[in-house]
Chains A and B, each alone.
Chain A
Amino acid sequence: MRDYHTSTPPASTKELDATQKFNVVAHNISKVDGEGLVLGRPAYTDDLAPQNALYVKLVRSPHAFARILSIDASEALKMPGVACVLTWKDCPRIPITRAGQGNPEPSPHDRFILDEYVRYVGDEVAVVAAEDEATAEKAASLIKVDYQVLEPILDFEKALDNPIIIHPEPEIHEMFPIGFEPKRNIAAAYHMEIGDVEKELAASPVTVETTVHTQAQQHVALEPHTAFSYLDIQGRLVIVTSTQNPWHTRRLLGLAFQMPLRQIRIVKPRIGGGFGGKQHIHIEPYVAMVTMKTGKPARLALTRREVFEATFTRHEMRVKVRLGADPDGALRAIDMQVLSNTGAYGEHALTTFMVAGSKTLPLYNKVKAVRFGGHVVYTNKVSAGAYRGYGAIQGLTGLESAMDELAHKLGMDPVELRRKNMLHEGETSEVFRIMGEGTEGVAMIIESCKLEECIRRGKELIGWDPTHLVQEVAPSKVRAKGMAIAMQGSGIPLVDMGSARIELQDGGFFKLHVGATDLGTGSDTILAQIAAEELGVDMKDIVIHSSDTDHTPFDVGAYASSTTYVSGSAVLRAARSLKQKLIEAVSLKFGVRPQDLTFEDKVFRTIDGSKELSLNDFSYDTLYHDGAKMKTIEATESFSGDKSPPPYLAAFVEIELDKETGKVDVVNYVAVADVGTPINPNLAKIQIEGGLLQGIGMALYEDVRYSDKGHMLSHNMMTYAIPSREDVGRITVELVDSYEPSGPFGAKSAGEIGIDTPPAAIANAIRNATGVRLTQYPFTPERVLMAIRQAEKGQKGQT
């Protein structure tokens, strides 16, 4: 059993300035749904499914690449209780993307809901519905499919210009130029250069080149993807689903089935985790097909194996970074070249790949020349999609590994090398302007960046001494420290949009409706805090309802670290607008000018003190008593950012490495972050703590493995282990005071920044412990030990 140095994990050790400044914001308020969830009240999709719903099961491809010659469902259809079997012949021939992204999507439309071809083991072949689950399963097993098995491409290094073409179908297309060349197995490509990288590299007295290979990783949200559907009284299709993006889901289903969007309603109840894994349409089309075919409710909860084999993974990437610097450490050139594996379909292909550069390269903005480029290729593996970190974690792993190598080469403290080159408040990077997510970027001056403070505090918490980064603790055990810094974004500027509507109710409380999608992060609570703060009321005066395309205003959904910044800004605007409307309405009633009226502590008062009216009384007046003047007081506002202010994080890790077994244990992981004003400091901290642990899992063992035929070997939680609470010693997270002028009450994002640093920081610690630069992820004990053994044999260098 592990020894814990301190009796209690550090909670917020220091009160933030913002907590003094606000009443509700920057306070630790319990999640509005928390108690209900802990008590297990019915809340998730599968808890709510109608009892009479048909059970849907999917027949999936056993081959990595094959053409379906025939499907014989006669035996299945003979079974009592089987309602229908649907195949590609029942689907309109409309290519779509399953990526829940804005319109037009930066992902190619290269996918049919069901197709004559299957392109990975697990790809959908047929849909079966029956009155009970056992019958549906049995029926699915009775369906006979005759395949013409084709030779797959499994190694992404061999995909480009391979004679095997994964997507020869003529109908598929890009929505705007993304470098889509399916005949070459290229889903997307991009290139940019600022200055002359080759010239700067040639002129640099010190250069390093580091290539990392980051693996596919699985989200493993504990709730499997689940949906049910039914027809409402008007004959409209209603889908209740564990989605991160109700509106994108509605739009894509409308396209896939050639249905008017008015005929579809999407509802998201509570979700058991997302992390990007539910930013797609994986299940909704199949329940919808069954309901449309039979007129009956239909339900589908994926098995865990299906979640592994047939949803999405993180994009596997090979990231090559070359750096050129002066002897004092001043960077002259950064060159990042990426090959990304999108798997069988191109969901998020371009954007995750571009984010590898766009959300990492601005970190070192003093550099004279920067280049970024590469390809995203198709293979016959399960598709890659959105996953927390979204390219930034892959790019950063390359960049921060190379920076560390540069520090070694220069004989410099890696912290000082970063400080010398990193971004500061009031500065910008050309990369912001040039690189966006699939399109051009947005020029942006950084108005909040407390990286210096994050680094200072992080060094203090870990006890950073550049001359003592390694310590022998037992004959075969060594402890070592490493570090990395990171940035992310806050929503996608000029693309993401969120809206909020607030309405005064009788009784003097407010109904807050948002399209934003709470994945369990607590965004419903955070958005209610923003409304309460602006209206000057208590949390209990705000009742929030979210994520229903019929009943809440539009929002693109929860992804790209957008909810607090984008949707939160919409809530702030709506609250501000509503407050103005309330004051106007009461001033009319009082016969005074609006500027002569105050609204504080839920009471309207004239400045001269002559008149006052409580919010509660006013709510009854305006809804019941004021005759012809009665009206609903409500405000709806939207927000779309013209910038994406990055949060920042400085990470310091201490590992213990067993030199006899290669096992690496994280003893302490310190992360100090600038997320602007944390609207709810505890929830912000937990986002970072949770992100760090997923990043540590990626660094050390999480890995999607396949057989040489393309069958996934890590298709359950026995073969794909995620960290348990015994796997990491201590995670220490602190937030620093920071205020982002463009964000709601100074807030930026916190959802993704936590995950970015562990792969690089742990690699850097292992480098310090062993002298070996590990580049092939994850760092399993076997890989670490073999690298140590090789180094002992004098073959020092990269593995």
Chain B
Amino acid sequence: MEILEFARPHTLDEALHLVRDRHGTAIGGAAWLRMNTKTMPLGVDLSELGLDYIREANGSIEIGAMTTYRELETSPLLEARFGALFRNTVSHIVGIQLRNIITVGGTLAGRYGFSDLNTTLCALGAKVVFYPGKIADVASFIQDGEEGPFLIEKVLLPVSARASYQQMRITANDFPIINAAAAWTDSSWRIAVGSRPAASRLCKKAMVLLGNEPYPSDEKIGQAAVAAAEELQFGSDIRASAEYRREILPALVRRALMEVRG
């Protein structure tokens, strides 16, 4: 990737100006920039904006856009509130050397199909905050994107949740073939599925099926798992066929739900 001009703003206002008014490209972790052969007229580095935090504020857990995956994985706060969820979600992504670079904001902005994290964020009902303050559901942002230039400031999570992340990978550190996350949060069930190989989606019918029952029966869980595979679209790629993804998804959803239910 050739970058013609590189800006390192120190305030969010300055960054937003560069992105919105000068059509700059916000640069998150930038780990995969070099695989892009295009030319970027203006790169806007977000690393000097103090967006690197995981904290509790205003009734939410806030994760700054420039927080690295390694920070998610090792955060005592996230561990205390979500158990092993974030560790399970991100710790199979290549290696810690990459996870020390890639960021929450970069992953969200890219709306990558293969993302592990976006599936978990969808299941938790996370919100994305665009500077200077617009808030959207992560799930709807991933589905519909955002019109015009935007600058992701942070992600908001519920202060705690019982949730589980399940995935299928061919090798331990490869991209997932398919992944699923389930959460019991705000007195309802949320289920998300990603790497279909398209981006993460909520399994709304399965969620409705489970309703507000905190301890659904095995049978109910089984039905929800099957419903999740029926309501979503799957595709084929180098790693697996659509049929295979559809075939194994119920097992992953069931395992996630059972783990949360306990």
Interface residues of A, Cβ cutoff 8 Å to B: 476, 660-663, 700-701, 705, 713-714, 718-719, 721-724, 726-727, 780-782, 785-786, 789
Quick one: closest A residue to B88, CB to CB? A1
What is the CB-to-nearest-CB distance from A295 to chain B, in angstroms, rounded to a whole number? 32
Q: A660-B248, A781-B177 are in contact. Are A727 and B238 (CB under 8 A)?
A: no
What is the CB-to-nearest-CB distance from A717 to chain B, in angstroms, rounded to a whole number? 10
CA distance A157 to B251 in the complex (A): 37
What is the CB-to-nearest-CB distance from A470 to chain B, in angstroms, rounded to a whole number? 21
Are A726 and B172 in contact (CB-based, < 8 A)? yes
Quick one: closest A residue to B91, CB to CB? A1
CB neighbours (8 Å) of B240 from chain A are 780-782
CB neighbours (8 Å) of B252 from chain A are 661
B186 beta carbon closer than 8 Å to chain A: no
CB neighbours (8 Å) of A705 from chain B are 238
B173 beta carbon closer than 8 Å to chain A: yes
Q: A782-B241, A786-B244 are in contact. Are A661 and B170 (CB under 8 A)?
A: no
Q: A705-B238, A727-B172 are in contact. Are A476 and B251 (CB under 8 A)?
A: yes
CA distance A422 to B94 in the complex (A): 44
Instruction: Classify chain B: how many residues form its interface, as a range.
Output: 10 to 19
Given A661-B168, A661-B252, A722-B171, 17 extra CB contacts under 8 A: A476-B251, A660-B248, A661-B251, A662-B248, A701-B170, A713-B238, A721-B170, A723-B171, A726-B172, A727-B171, A727-B172, A780-B170, A780-B240, A781-B168, A782-B244, A785-B247, A785-B248
What is the CB-to-nearest-CB distance from A573 to chain B, in angstroms, rounded to a whole number? 46
Quick one: closest A residue to B245, CB to CB? A782
Quick one: closest B residue to A716, CB to CB? B35
CA distance A661 to B168 in the complex (A): 8
Q: A714-B238, A724-B172, A726-B172 are in contact. Are A785 and B244 (CB under 8 A)?
A: yes
What is the CB-to-nearest-CB distance from B81 to chain A, in angstroms, rounded to a whole number? 21
15 A-B pairs whose Cβ atoms sit less than 8 Å apart in the complex: A660-B251, A661-B251, A661-B252, A700-B170, A701-B171, A705-B238, A713-B238, A721-B170, A721-B171, A723-B171, A724-B171, A780-B170, A781-B240, A782-B241, A786-B244
Are B173 and A724 in contact (CB-based, < 8 A)? yes
What is the CB-to-nearest-CB distance from B50 to chain A, in angstroms, rounded to a whole number? 32
Interface residues of B, Cβ cutoff 8 Å to A: 168, 170-175, 177, 238, 240-241, 244, 247-248, 251-252
Quick one: closest A residue to B92, CB to CB? A726
Quick one: closest B residue to A714, CB to CB? B238
CB neighbours (8 Å) of A780 from chain B are 170, 240
Q: A705-B238, A714-B238, A782-B240 are in contact. Are A721 and B248 (CB under 8 A)?
A: no
CB neighbours (8 Å) of A700 from chain B are 170
Q: A724-B171, A780-B170, A782-B244 are in contact. Are A719 and B251 (CB under 8 A)?
A: no
Quick one: closest B residue to A141, CB to CB? B37
What is the CB-to-nearest-CB distance from B120 to chain A, in angstroms, rounded to a whole number? 18
User: How many contacts A-B (CB < 8 Å)?
Assistant: 47
CB neighbours (8 Å) of B251 from chain A are 476, 660-661
Quick one: closest A residue to B241, CB to CB? A782
Are A721 and B174 in contact (CB-based, < 8 A)? yes
CA distance A724 to B91 in the complex (A): 14
CB neighbours (8 Å) of A722 from chain B are 171
CA distance A718 to B244 in the complex (A): 20
Quick one: closest B residue to A707, CB to CB? B238
What is the CB-to-nearest-CB distance from A1 to chain B, in angstroms, rounded to a whole number? 8
CA distance A700 to B174 in the complex (A): 13
Quick one: closest A residue to B173, CB to CB? A724
What is the CB-to-nearest-CB distance from B27 to chain A, in angstroms, rounded to a whole number? 21
CB neighbours (8 Å) of A723 from chain B are 171
Quick one: closest A residue to B170, CB to CB? A701
CA distance A215 to B241 in the complex (A): 19
Quick one: closest B residue to A722, CB to CB? B171
CB neighbours (8 Å) of B241 from chain A are 782
CB neighbours (8 Å) of B244 from chain A are 662, 781-782, 785-786
Q: Which of A700, A722, A780 counts the most chain B CB atoms within 10 A? A: A780
CB neighbours (8 Å) of B174 from chain A are 721
CA distance A660 to B252 in the complex (A): 9
Q: Please provide the 3 A-B residue pairs with the shortest distance between their CB atoms, ordered closest to farther.
A: A726-B172, A660-B251, A782-B244
Q: A714-B238, A782-B241 are in contact. Are A661 and B248 (CB under 8 A)?
A: yes
CB neighbours (8 Å) of B248 from chain A are 660-662, 781, 785
Quick one: closest A residue to B172, CB to CB? A726
Quick one: closest B residue to A782, CB to CB? B244
CA distance A661 to B173 in the complex (A): 17
CB neighbours (8 Å) of A726 from chain B are 172-173
**Neighbour of B238 across the interface among A660, A719, A789, CB < 8 A:** A719
CB neighbours (8 Å) of B247 from chain A are 785, 789
CA distance A662 to B241 in the complex (A): 14
**Neighbour of B170 across the interface among A660, A781, A789, CB < 8 A:** A781
What is the CB-to-nearest-CB distance from B187 to chain A, in angstroms, rounded to a whole number? 30
Quick one: closest B residue to A783, CB to CB? B244
Quick one: closest B residue to A780, CB to CB? B170
CA distance A243 to B244 in the complex (A): 42
Quick one: closest A residue to B95, CB to CB? A724
CB neighbours (8 Å) of A724 from chain B are 171-173
CB neighbours (8 Å) of B171 from chain A are 701, 721-724, 727
What is the CB-to-nearest-CB distance from B148 to chain A, in angstroms, rounded to a whole number? 31
CA distance A713 to B237 in the complex (A): 10
Quick one: closest A residue to B32, CB to CB? A718
What is the CB-to-nearest-CB distance from B219 to chain A, in angstroms, rounded to a whole number? 15
What is the CB-to-nearest-CB distance from B174 to chain A, in angstroms, rounded to a whole number? 5
CA distance A719 to B175 in the complex (A): 9
What is the CB-to-nearest-CB distance from B255 to chain A, in angstroms, rounded to a whole number? 9
CA distance A476 to B254 in the complex (A): 13
CB neighbours (8 Å) of A785 from chain B are 244, 247-248
CA distance A382 to B174 in the complex (A): 24
Q: Which of A660, A662, A780 counts the most chain B CB atoms within 10 A? A: A660
CA distance A86 to B238 in the complex (A): 36
What is the CB-to-nearest-CB distance from B99 to chain A, in angstroms, rounded to a whole number? 14
Quick one: closest A residue to B114, CB to CB? A718
CB neighbours (8 Å) of A713 from chain B are 238
CA distance A314 to B175 in the complex (A): 25
CA distance A722 to B94 in the complex (A): 12
CB neighbours (8 Å) of A714 from chain B are 238
CA distance A198 to B211 in the complex (A): 68
What is the CB-to-nearest-CB distance from A762 to chain B, in angstroms, rounded to a whole number? 14
CB neighbours (8 Å) of A781 from chain B are 168, 170, 177, 240, 244, 248
CB neighbours (8 Å) of B168 from chain A are 661, 663, 781
Quick one: closest B residue to A2, CB to CB? B172
Quick one: closest B residue to A661, CB to CB? B248
Q: Which of B172, B240, B247 counts the most chain A CB atoms within 10 A? A: B172
Q: Which of B170, B244, B247, B248 counts the most chain A CB atoms within 10 A? A: B170
CA distance A713 to B238 in the complex (A): 7
Q: Which of A663, A701, A781 counts the most chain B CB atoms within 10 A? A: A781
What is the CB-to-nearest-CB distance from A770 to chain B, in angstroms, rounded to a whole number? 16
CA distance A718 to B173 in the complex (A): 10
